[in-house]
Amino acid sequence: MEYRQLGNTGLKVSVIGMGCEGLSEDNYNMAQKMFDAAERLGINYFDLYASDPRLRQAVGRALRGRRDRFMIQSHICSVWKNGQYTRTRNLAETKAGFEEMMTLLDTDYLDVGMIHYCDAMGDWESIVDNGILDYARELKKQGRIRHIGLSSHNPLVAERAVTEGGIEVLMFSVNPCYDLQPATEDCEEMWADRNYQKQLTNMDPDRQRLYEVCQRMGVGITVMKVYAGGELLGSNQIAGVSLTPNQCISYALSRPAVSAVLPGAHSVEELEQSAAYCEAGPEEKDYAAALASFPRVSWVGHCMYCTHCEPCPKFIDIASVTKFLHLAQARSRVTGHPEQCADDGDCQIPETVREHYAALEHHAGECIKCGACEGRCPFGVAVRENMEQAVKVFGY
C-alpha cells in the first residue's frame, strides 16, 4: 500500500481507502470481514456517508479494539429520518444526528467530519447561515472531529467552500468523464448520455482550477465516483471508451491535491481489486492511450500528467515540472487574486510549490529543446514552451 499526506491535516492515509456504502445495513459479519480485509491490505482510511443506524452500528462493532488503526471520514448532516436517509441543513437535526452517529460508531472522535453533499451555492449559504459550519468548528474545538471536511460534485461550490469556509478535506468526484463537464448544481447532469454525445474539449477549467487551488491551500482531496459509478468500466462506456479500475485510480491520483480514492466496496474481492492498484505496473496504470482514444473528446494541448513523453535525455520529470508550473500559476476565481501569478510580474508562488520544484532532480532549465517529448505526447502538449515558462516562473 502507498500512503500520502492528506493536505495539511498531518494525517497519512492509504491511497486506496474504502467507501462503506456497499456494506449491508445490518450485517455485522460482513463489516467485520471488510475491516479485517482492509487491515490486511494496509487500508487505513474509510468514508461513511450512509446514515442507516444498523450500518453505523455494524461499523462501530467491527472497529472495536482497533479504532486507532483506522481514520474515519464520516458525514454530519446525513441523518436517518422517517426510516430513511436524509440530507439536512437543520441545525437541531444535525446535532442530534451527530450524537447518534458517535454512539453507534462507539467512538469519541472522527478524524474528518464531512459536511455532507453540497452541490449548490444556495445550499452552501444555508450551511453558513444555519450555523452548521459554526457547529462543525465547535466540534473541532472540542476535539470531537479532528478536521472539517465537505463533500461535493460541483467545482465552483467546492472552491468557494475551501476558500471561504476553512474546509480542510474535500471529498470530490474525480474521473476523466466528469472532468470534461462544466459545473452544475444537478449532479445527474454529469452522467447524462447526451452530454457525452457532443464534441468535448479538454478538462473543464473550473475543475482543473479547483484541484490546483486545493493543492496550493493544503486542502486534501479524497475521491468519490472514481469509476463514475461503474460507468467507466466494462461495456457502459459513457464517453465511448472503457477504462480499467487501475487506469481510473491512476488518473485520479495524478490530479493535484488528491490524497486517496475511496471506491465503494461490496465484497472483500472488490476491495482487493482496488488495493491491487498498488502492485500494478506502469503499463496497467497508464490511462493516456485510453483517454486519447475517446471518440468525441479533444485533449489537445492539455497536459494530463500521464508521463508518456518520457524519457527525456536530460532526465527531466516533465509531468511534475508541468504540474508545478500549473500550481504556480493557479489562482482562485472565488477569492479573486489572493496570490499573484507569474504572468503579473509580481509572483508569489506558495513555498510548498517552490520546495517541491526544488526537490526535483532535474529542472526545466536543463531542457535542450530536442522535441522528443512532444513526439511522444498523445495530447499535443507544447512541452518546450512549458519548460520555457517554468524557467521564467521558477528561475531555473
- The footprint of ligand SF4 (CB under 6 A) covers 288, 303-309, 312-314, 316, 318-319, 322, 367-373, 377, 379, 381, 383-384, 387
Contact partners, residue 135, CB within 8 Å, separation at least 6: 76, 91, 94, 95
Number of C-alpha atoms within 13 angstroms, CB side, residue 171?
A: 27
Which secondary-structure segment (H or E) carries 59?
helix 53-62
**Residues 35, 32: Cα–Cα separation, whole Å:** 5
State residue 212 phi and psi, 5-degree precision.
-70, -40
Q: What is the smallest separation between the CB atom of 246 and ligand SF4, expressed in angstroms?
A: 17
Select 105 or 377, whichever has its Cβ closest to ligand SF4.
Answer: 377
For residues 260 and 16, is the Cβ–Cβ distance under 8 A?
A: yes
Residue 85, strand partner residues: 80
Residue 80, strand partner residues: 85
Q: What is the smallest separation between the CB atom of 330 and ligand SF4, expressed in angstroms?
A: 17
For residues 308 and 283, is the Cβ–Cβ distance under 8 A?
A: no
Select 27 or 202, whichever has its Cβ closest to ligand SF4.
Answer: 202
Cell numbers placing 295? 471518440
Please classify residue 235 by burial: count the beta carbons closer than 10 Å to its beta carbon, then call 0-12 exposed, 13-18 middle and 19+ buried. Answer: exposed
Select 205 or 230, whichever has its Cβ closest to ligand SF4.
Answer: 205
Select 75 or 285, whichever has its Cβ closest to ligand SF4.
Answer: 285
**Residues 238, 329: Cα–Cα separation, whole Å:** 32
Q: Which residue has the cell 493535484?
A: 256
Pick the closest to residue 116 from 106, 126, 104 (CA basis): 126
Select 35 or 305, whichever has its Cβ closest to ligand SF4.
Answer: 305
**Residues 276, 350: Cα–Cα separation, whole Å:** 35
Select 174 or 183, whichever has its Cβ closest to ligand SF4.
Answer: 174
CB atoms within 10 A of CB 385: 11
Kindly tell me the number of DSSP H helices and DSSP E strands found in the chain: 16, 14
CB atoms within 10 A of CB 27: 14
Cell numbers placing 246? 487501475
Q: Which residue has the cell 482510511?
A: 45
Residue 220, strand partner residues: 169
Select 350 or 378, whichever has its Cβ closest to ligand SF4.
Answer: 378
Select 271 or 367, whichever has its Cβ closest to ligand SF4.
Answer: 367
Q: What is the smallest separation between the CB atom of 394 and ligand SF4, expressed in angstroms?
A: 15
For residues 196 and 177, is the Cβ–Cβ distance under 8 A?
A: yes
Q: Which of helix, strand or coil describes residue 269?
A: helix
Select 137 or 362, whichever has its Cβ closest to ligand SF4.
Answer: 362
Please tell me the total number of residues recorded for the chain in this structure: 396
Select 122 or 313, whichever has its Cβ closest to ligand SF4.
Answer: 313
Q: What is the smallest separation between the CB atom of 294 and ligand SF4, expressed in angstroms?
A: 14
Select 87 or 376, whichever has its Cβ closest to ligand SF4.
Answer: 376
